[in-house]
Chain A
Amino acid sequence: MEFLENLGLILTFMAGALAALLPGIGSAKAVGRVGEMAAGVLTEDPNKFGKLLILQALPGTQGIYGLLTWFMVLQQSGLFSAGADITWQKGLAYLMAVLPIAIVGYFSAVYQGRVSEAGVALVAKRPEEQSKALVMAAMVETYAILALLASVLTIFRIT
């Protein structure tokens, strides 16, 4: 029965872990691939480093949103202050609440990475058009932001 008593705690930890885990993986994948491509361009023209670094950083935000959600879960559930008592219903609610950012965060990071990669190719040929590449990549991020809002506003509502 000890397991059932701690079930709320376990579910909450799972929620936090999931929130940090999936978008983090997605961002790592995307940032990695953009970086590979950017390094290729740099062999030809090292002066583009600054512009390409910004493009590489873009799909990294989903990982940050994941961390943000993790923090929210742990803070709102009172896990940062000791002696939190979480029912299993509440734990399950947290687990559900993080699903949007966990799943959408992962996929949007991967796809944003692909747009950024294409942006790297754009900047390689026409460096003056960098801002357009940035905005196009940011279009994908919109959905991560919407998912983040869904998750965070839900977490705020769980009492």
Chain B
Amino acid sequence: MEKLTVIGLREERDPIMDTLMRLGAVELIEPPAEQETSAEEAALVPERQAIQGEISLMSRLEMAIDIARRRHPVKRKMFSGRRQVDAATLMGVAGREKELLGQIARIEQNQTRIAELRQQLGHLATLRDLLQPWEGLDLDLKQQQTAHVQVFLGSLDTPEMLRQAETQLREEVPESLLTVLSEDEGGLRCAAATLRSRSDLARSILRKAGFSPLPEIDTPGTPSEQLSRISGQIREIQQELARREQELDELAQSGADFEVLHDFLLIRHDRLKASSDLPGSQHTFWLQGWVPAHLVKSVARGLESRFMVALSHEPAGPEDEYPILLSNSKLVKPYEVIVEMFSPPSTREQDPTPLLAPFFFFFFGMMLSDIGYGLLLSGLCALLLFKVKAKGEMGRMVKMLFLCGISSVIWGFLFGSFFGDMVSVLSQGRLVIPALWFNPMDDATKLMIWSMIFGVIHLFAGMGAKAYLLFVTGRGKDAVLDIFPWYLIIAGLGILLGGIGGQTGLYLALTGASVLVLFGGRGTRNPVMRLLKGLLSLYDITSYISDILSYTRILALVLATSVIAMVVNLLGFLGGPSITGFFFYVLVAILGHGLNLALSALSAYVHTSRLHYVEFFGKFYDGGGRLWRPLTIKTRYVDIVRSPAEAMEKA
């Protein structure tokens, strides 16, 4: 990483930032927060407002794009990736910004109005339903009272309720009248009349009896007049709704342009945000950023050829907390994802990816270990890579799984497994894929022992990395006294357990142990304490044993994959070797093997990661770095491709 410092003219700031974004090779360093003078702050206000404005425009566009996508769903092919837009189209759409924003405003208006109209429509429909039973009544609904008399119109559900209401009224408000106007399946439509002075009491009695009054209506007219007025209104509203919907439909046809505009605004927003923080004087500005060493030259050339800038760069010092960009050969690169997911190396550590890659390949393949599943996995990944053009982190992940699929095929041959025992089931035992090494189903114990042996090799590699790091940092003595004895102990115990080489194993282990006991506590002066500490360091054997045992999970996962595959084959072939039987088999196999592949690949990925994160990294790697995140062109809906002219200019 190199620290780049650029000083340029203020008037050229925006084009310079634009170029930096296009180059995508500089991570800006946030300038230290200084006390801003009020004048500077005043100058910043319009810029900050502009940034805010862009954000709100973008969220309005997002909403419009949402509407457009719902109204005019574009059929997308599966695995087709994002739409490609060249720079000319982008600038063309950007030139129509005003017009498009006008369309957005109209979409919003229509949207609000449609919601309003829908609400009114619902309201009117309820009113109509309420008035329908009263259609025959020849009474002005607004006129519900005279100088002395108050009339209530409303419904009662049952004759029972009517009788109750009548009795109550007779007792408490004798100067009242309750009559039934009409009767239908919805209940009894009644009118009650009473003196205005007694109307409150009468109303509450009626309520208690279950009387549901008609809502008050402001416009005069009999129910039938009201009803015809309401249906007129409903017709009008429906017409407006249709008109509005149509307009919205038309407006929403520019959805594709909205997407381009959104991304244009996003780019402009990012540029504005990055440049608004830059310090400087009245006519100049300056910026600092991290640039990977191999890109410094092209960045410098890109800037100096076009702008008046003063430029300098220096390598990152040991004190700098610079960001990390992992750089590996093509075959190893995909495995960077695994390291980055754990934590990128800190500035004082080495990149563990080259060491991790072969082991990850090895263990993943061993866990999945099936020719058929491996081919399927690699095939799927190839499809994603070449048809969808998966990029960035996703792309590296897919590449990594592609490689792991190949490893699974290799292990599948070693264990003689093709979709479990598919071949021998379908040929009814006549054909068997021979295992190049051995079949784990025949000798599980053997595989368990080998799992642990591979685990020991894995751990030894991790310990070796630690020893290497110690040597490089000038602490070779620690490596010899703390790490090498464990090589002797573990290897010695292994040989002893394996029953080969007679007493060699024992001697090896004892040598290692005595080095530990003698030198494990070398930090302490007191000889007794030192010996005790040395003895205590032997206790670490438990952690080594649990680490090694952890690798037996490989056996379990191998068995899980192949046994479930066998169960699928067994279930599928229940129909026997007939036409229907084979048809049924194909159906079960597609479902069953598909599911098994998904779950087994997930298990293999998760458990291989775990073996690396916990057992392997535990020996030598801490991480704690920060990934390099350059200022670059980010988009959400479309991919911007360079026009040929631009590409040439860049070259």
Is B609 positioned at the interface, with any CB of A under 8 Å from its CB? yes
Asked if A145 and B553 make an inter-chain contact with CB atoms under 8 angstroms apart, the answer reads yes
Tell me the bound Cα distance from A54 to B444 in angstroms. 29
Which one, A58, A72, A149, contacts B448 given CB within 8 A? A149
Map CB proximity to B onto A54-70 as digits: 1 under 8 Å, 0 otherwise: 10011011001101100
Is B396 positioned at the interface, with any CB of A under 8 Å from its CB? no
Which one, B445, B598, B609, contacts A156 given CB within 8 A? B445
CB nearest neighbor in B for A147:
B556
Asked if A64 and B599 make an inter-chain contact with CB atoms under 8 angstroms apart, the answer reads yes
Which one, B549, B564, B566, B606, contacts A64 given CB within 8 A? B564
Is A111 positioned at the interface, with any CB of B under 8 Å from its CB? no
CB nearest neighbor in A for B563:
A68
Tell me the bound Cα distance from A72 to B555 in angstroms. 14
Q: What residues of chain A lie closer than 8 Å to B557, measured between beta carbons? A: 145
Asked if B606 and A134 make an inter-chain contact with CB atoms under 8 angstroms apart, the answer reads yes
Q: What residues of chain A lie closer than 8 Å to B550, measured between beta carbons? A: 142
Is A88 positioned at the interface, with any CB of B under 8 Å from its CB? no
Interface residues contributed by chain A, number (CB under 8 Å): 28
Tell me the bound Cα distance from A91 to B606 in angstroms. 36
Interface residues contributed by chain B, number (CB under 8 Å): 29
Shortest Cβ distance from residue A95 to the other chain B in the assembled complex, whole angstroms:
20
Q: Which of B384-398 contact A (CB under 8 A)?
A: none
Asked if B607 and A57 make an inter-chain contact with CB atoms under 8 angstroms apart, the answer reads no
Map CB proximity to B onto A84-128 as digits: 1 under 8 Å, 0 otherwise: 000000000000000000000000000000000000000000000
Tell me the bound Cα distance from A134 to B613 in angstroms. 12
Is A6 positioned at the interface, with any CB of B under 8 Å from its CB? no
Asked if A148 and B556 make an inter-chain contact with CB atoms under 8 angstroms apart, the answer reads yes
Tell me the bound Cα distance from A141 to B445 in angstroms. 21
Give the secondary structure class of A's interface: helix
CB nearest neighbor in A for B612:
A135
Q: Which of B89-116 contact A (CB under 8 A)?
A: none
Given A57-B602, A67-B564, A149-B552, decide whether A135 and B609 contact each other with a Cβ distance below 8 A.
yes
Is B193 positioned at the interface, with any CB of A under 8 Å from its CB? no
Shortest Cβ distance from residue A78 to the other chain B in the assembled complex, whole angstroms:
15
CB nearest neighbor in B for A60:
B599
Q: What residues of chain A lie closer than 8 Å to B606, measured between beta carbons? A: 58, 134-135, 137-138
Q: What residues of chain B lie closer than 8 Å to A139, measured between beta carbons? A: 610, 614
Which one, A65, A137, A156, contacts B556 given CB within 8 A? A65
Tell me the bound Cα distance from A139 to B598 in angstroms. 20
Q: What residues of chain B lie closer than 8 Å to A80, measured between beta carbons? A: 570
Asked if B555 and A149 make an inter-chain contact with CB atoms under 8 angstroms apart, the answer reads yes
Given A134-B609, A135-B609, decide whether A64 and B552 contact each other with a Cβ distance below 8 A.
no
Asked if B448 and A135 make an inter-chain contact with CB atoms under 8 angstroms apart, the answer reads no
Q: What residues of chain B lie closer than 8 Å to A142, measured between beta carbons? A: 550, 553, 610
Asked if A145 and B599 make an inter-chain contact with CB atoms under 8 angstroms apart, the answer reads no
Map CB proximity to A onto B436-472 as digits: 1 under 8 Å, 0 otherwise: 0000000011001000000000000000000000000
Q: What residues of chain A lie closer than 8 Å to B560, measured between beta carbons? A: 61, 64-65, 68, 148
Given A57-B599, A60-B599, A65-B560, decide whether A131 and B553 contact each other with a Cβ distance below 8 A.
no
Q: What residues of chain B lie closer than 8 Å to A134, measured between beta carbons? A: 606, 609
Q: Which of B559-573 contact A (CB under 8 A)?
A: 559-560, 563-564, 566-567, 570
Tell me the bound Cα distance from A57 to B559 in angstroms. 19
Asked if A146 and B599 make an inter-chain contact with CB atoms under 8 angstroms apart, the answer reads no
CB nearest neighbor in B for A54:
B602
Tell me the bound Cα distance from A58 to B604 in angstroms. 11
CB nearest neighbor in B for A139:
B610
Asked if B607 and A138 make an inter-chain contact with CB atoms under 8 angstroms apart, the answer reads yes
Is B341 positioned at the interface, with any CB of A under 8 Å from its CB? yes
Given A54-B602, A149-B552, A153-B448, decide whether A71 and B567 contact each other with a Cβ distance below 8 A.
yes
Is B224 positioned at the interface, with any CB of A under 8 Å from its CB? no
Asked if B341 and A131 make an inter-chain contact with CB atoms under 8 angstroms apart, the answer reads yes
Q: What residues of chain A lie closer than 8 Å to B511, measured between beta carbons? A: none
Q: Which of B28-55 contact A (CB under 8 A)?
A: none
Q: What residues of chain B lie closer than 8 Å to A71, measured between beta carbons? A: 563, 566-567
Q: What residues of chain A lie closer than 8 Å to B602, measured between beta carbons? A: 54, 57-58
Shortest Cβ distance from residue A128 to the other chain B in the assembled complex, whole angstroms:
9
Q: What residues of chain B lie closer than 8 Å to A18, measured between beta carbons? A: none
Tell me the bound Cα distance from A64 to B566 in angstroms. 13
Tell me the bound Cα distance from A134 to B444 in angstroms. 28
Q: Which of A129-159 contact B (CB under 8 A)?
A: 131-132, 134-135, 137-139, 141-142, 145-146, 148-149, 152-153, 156
Map CB proximity to A onto B264-292 as digits: 1 under 8 Å, 0 otherwise: 00000000000000000000000000000
Shortest Cβ distance from residue B344 to the other chain A in the assembled complex, whole angstroms:
13
CB nearest neighbor in B for A80:
B570
Asked if B555 and A67 make an inter-chain contact with CB atoms under 8 angstroms apart, the answer reads no
The contact sample of 6 A-B pairs, CB cut-off 8 A, is A57-B599, A68-B564, A80-B570, A138-B609, A149-B555, A149-B556
8 new A-B contacts, CB < 8 A, other than A57-B599, A65-B556, are A57-B598, A64-B564, A67-B567, A72-B563, A139-B610, A142-B610, A145-B552, A146-B552
Can you list the 5 inter-chain pairs with the closest CB atoms, starting with the nearest?
A: A131-B341, A145-B556, A68-B563, A145-B553, A138-B606
